[in-house]
Amino acid sequence: MNFNWNIQKTLLTNQSSFQLNLEYASSCQSIAIFGPSGAGKTTLIKIIAGLMIPDAGSITIKNNVFFDDKQKINLKPQQRNLAYFFQTYSLFPHLTVQQNIAFSLKKGFLNPGKHRYNTEVSELLEQFELSNLAHQYPHELSGGQQQRVALARALITKPKLLLLDEPFSMLDYQLRQRLRVEVKYIQQQINCLLLIISHDPEDINFFADDVLSLKNGKMER
Amino acid sequence: MNFAWGALFLSLKVAGCSVVVNFLIAVPIGFLLARKKFVGKEFLDTILTLPMVMPPTVLGYYLLVLLGRHGWVGQILEIYFDINLIFTWQGAVIAATIVTFPLVFKPTRTAFESVNPCYEQAARVLGVSDISIFFRITLPLAWRGIFAGLLLSFARALGEFGATLMVAGSIPGKTETLSISIYEAVQEGNDHAANIAVIILSFVCIVVLFIAKKLTGYKIFY
């Protein structure tokens, strides 16, 4: 099984509570999550990334147990070897485009240097049409440009699992088509699993072998 | 003339030391209050903010009671370490540190709270360790606020009067800081000395506040 989870999570806010109750198993390479706003899509993806802890259940990705409440396993996000493209991009505002993309390549207490070039970073800048923006800061970029930087930053880690939360929503039609091809190409090169959230049926047709439909924290088949 | 420079040097030394002590104590406490959840957190915040609203003489009195010969801290220091802090410049540092503590701790807490956790989450998923994230993401995004707080505390410590006088007294050449020397000069009718000291102190405070404002990029005096 590539994807296998069975999770329960209750989110409490001041006024209401939201229950996520999901069970899924699949040996597909790429799956898409589809559903209206507030259905729990981003919550699910955050739980898989390890940024939220489920109340109970288990998550196994490609025979790798990420979480299991019975066996008391809960891998840190750092140990899960995945990449997460945030809906809000979350680009580091104090780092340039090039430093943002190179962020994960540098270990230790210092950020990558402003003028240090790395072939991997250069290649991605080229592929994502960002070469001339390498030294700009995120706040100087348009929404679509930020989206591409976030995508490049996620892909450079060569993850085993790629989580994409509405990755192409800010791009124009042509760029969207081009980047889909690029992302799929990189996915095949590094041979990783893909989980994508999207409202765009074209994204889903292009990437997904299976589609999960979510509504009010539950699966709809 | 000489004594004005000696007093200025002493003021700078006391203010500088209080900034260092606050950096080591107030900044970590500001971080803890911004990021950790625990019972009594807001109560602790209130207690730590007290020096901002309490008259410095009251703070000085507390310190005197605590650090003096009969105070329990003072007794321990005297008996076990043969240290007496009252009427010393080190005592002035403690007074200045306590008075300026909220000026460092408050902006530090706000600065850490205003760092959106989404950046730290993104960095965790990218495989960077939590301690590295602190130095590569959290601190660079918060440092302006922290630094502005430290500069403000420096300016405030330079002008510290009430608590310092209570704890360290006013011994010329030993504990007479610039702001205390102004008071003494006026008492003695030495207007010339008072004028010089006032001009120096005002100038240093303006420079420090100006730097703080430049660094934060927003107004710090309302």
Structure confidence at residue B219 as a pLDDT band (50, 70, 90): very low
Q: Are residues A48 and A139 in the same domain?
A: no
Q: Which residues of A touch B144 (CB under 8 A)?
A: none
For residue A36, being part of any structural domain is answered with yes
Give yes or no for B114 touching A (CB within 8 A): no
Q: Do A111 and A149 share a domain, yes or no?
A: yes
How close, in Å, is residue A212 to chain B by CA atoms? 24
> Identity (one letter) of the amino acid at B101?
F
Report d(CA A67, CA B30) in Å as an integer. 33
Give the minimum alpha-carbon distance from A76 to chain B in angstroms, rounded to a whole number.
8
Residues A4 and A74 in one domain: yes
Instruction: Indicate if A166 and A76 belong to the same structural domain.
Output: yes
Q: Does the distance separating the beta carbons of B135 and A109 come in below 8 Å?
A: yes
Are B125 and A103 inside 8 Å of each other by CB? no
- The tally of domains found in chain A comes to 2
Residue A183 lies in a domain: no
Are the Cβ atoms of B123 and A103 closer than 8 angstroms? yes
Whether residue A40 is found in the same domain as residue A132? no
pLDDT (tens digit per residue) in B11-24 = 999 999 999 999 99
How is residue B175 written in tokens? 């504990």
The Cβ of residue B3 has, within 10 Å, a number of other Cβ atoms equal to: 17
pLDDT of residue A87: 84
DSSP letters spanning A55-103: SEEEEEETTEEEEETTTTEE--GGGS-EEEE-TT----TTS-HHHHHHG
> Tell me: the pLDDT tens digits for A69-80?
999 999 999 999
Contacts of A83 in chain B (CB under 8 A): 125-126
A40 beta partners: none
- The CATH number given to whatever domain includes residue A12 is 3.40.50.300
Q: Does residue A178 belong to any structural domain of this protein?
A: no
Please, which residues have CB within 8 angstroms of residue A220's CB and are 6 or more apart in sequence? A35, A213, A214
Is residue A185 in some structural domain? no
pLDDT at B69: 80
Q: Does B32 touch chain A (CB under 8 A)?
A: no
Query: Quick check: is A11 in a domain?
Result: yes
Pick the CATH number of B2-216 from 3.40.50.150, 3.40.50.10140, 1.25.40.80, 1.10.3720.10: 1.10.3720.10
Whether B140 has a pLDDT exceeding 80, the answer reads: yes
C-beta atoms of A51 and B119 within 8 A = no
DSSP 3-state assignment of A191? coil
Using CB atoms and an 8 Å cut-off, which of residues 152-181 of chain A contact chain B? 153, 157
**A78-117 confidence digits (pLDDT tens):** 999 999 988 888 999 999 999 999 999 988 898 988 887 7
Sole residue written with tokens 């999770």: A7
Q: Tell me the CA end-to-end span of chain B in Å, nearest whole number.
A: 36
Distance CA B113, CA B142 (A): 9
Amino acid at B85: L
A45: nearest CA partner in chain B? B125
Same domain, A68 and A4: yes
The ipTM value here is 0.88
Tell whether A111 lies on the interface with B, counting CB pairs under 8 A.
Answer: yes
pLDDT band at B72 (very low <50, low <70, confident <90, very high): confident
Q: Are residues A63 and A111 in the same domain?
A: no
Which of helix, strand or coil describes residue A118? coil
Q: Report if residue A180 sits inside a domain.
A: no
Q: Does A145 lie in the same domain as A123?
A: yes
Same domain, A151 and A163: no
Asked if residue A184 belongs to a domain, the reply is no
Same domain, A11 and A53: yes
pLDDT in tens, A1-53: 899 999 999 988 778 888 899 999 999 999 999 888 888 899 999 999 999 99
Same domain as A168, residue A140: no
Among the partner-chain residues A76, A92, A153, the one whose CB lies closest to the CB of B137 is: A92
- Domain contains A182: no
- Residue B84 pLDDT > 60, yes or no? yes
What was the pLDDT predicted at B221? 37
CB contact under 8 A, B124 and A107: no
Is the domain of A137 the same as that of A167? no
Which tops the pLDDT comparison, B87 or B4? B87
Helix (H) or strand (E) holding A32: strand A30-34
* pTM for the model: 0.82
pLDDT value at residue A220: 79
Q: Is A88 on the interface with B (CB under 8 A)?
A: yes
Hey, what are B130's tokens? Answer: 């939590």
**Token output for B23:** 């950096």
User: What pLDDT digit, counting tens, does each position of A130-163 carry?
Assistant: 999 999 999 999 888 998 899 899 989 889 999 9
Task: Enumerate residues 6+ apart whose C-beta is below 8 A from B89.
Answer: B10, B13, B14, B168, B174, B175
C-alpha closest to that of A100 among A87, A108, A90: A90
Model confidence over B193-209: pLDDT tens digits?
899 889 988 998 888 88
Name chain A contacts of B131, Cβ cutoff 8 Å: 109
Chain B contact for A139 (CB, 8 A cutoff): no
Write out the residue range of the structural domain in which residue A125 sits: 91-158
